[in-house]
Amino acid sequence: MKKENKTMKQQYKDGYLNGWTDACQEIDKRNKMNKKPKAENKDIDPNGDRWVKINIPTLKKYGVKPFSIMERKMRKNNEVWNNISFYDAQKEAEKLGYRLPDIREMLAILEYYKQKNKNVSENDKEFLGIEELSYEEDVHYEWIEGAGCAFLRGGYWYDGASAGAFTLPLNNTPGSTSRNFGFRCAR
């Protein structure tokens, strides 16, 4: 049988669909058996939350421990790159023979990292473009592609879905820009 070369977009799509199919099948099994899932590999905690763990095996694509690959991608002359654009980060990753994680994978990596490393260092956050915010917000994400969408950092003085300090609309492209008056307004 002829082996197909899939585009990166198709690989993302296949991974996304397969991940959700696996998740639905696992939920169905758990409902029937009312048991916790068995560990399928060393990266999955049998006592953990299956929703969070569903994408952990995808970390093997990167060939290194979570976050250490970001150090290799995001360094420039031994300085941390802050507010790096998605496209610049993508180019740097490709030079090293890697690709950037999508949002689904990034959230899995972040959750894995939080579980394994209770004290997240400032350097780790800077490498990833992840910072803890004030007002007890959780985190924000820079330069992470989301299947053609992008996170909006902070809300602005407006009405609708983008209003307020805790907004997370996903209707912007990674390259879109905007300036507004409000809360940490940057895209």
DSSP 18-32: HHHHHHHHHHHHHHH
Bigger pLDDT: 145 vs 123: 123
Predicted pLDDT of residue 143? 41
For the chain, what is the mean pLDDT? 51
Q: Provide the whole-model pTM.
A: 0.29
Tell me the domain boundaries of the chain. Answer: 8-141
CA angle 39, 105, 14 (to 5 degrees): 90
Q: Look up tokens 């250490």; give the residue.
A: 68
Predicted pLDDT of residue 91? 72
Comparing CA positions, the residue from 174, 131, 135 lying closest to residue 152 is 174
CA–CA gap between residue 20 and residue 15 (Å, rounded): 9
Predicted pLDDT of residue 162? 54
Contact by Cβ (8 Å): 67, 51: no
Length of the chain: 187
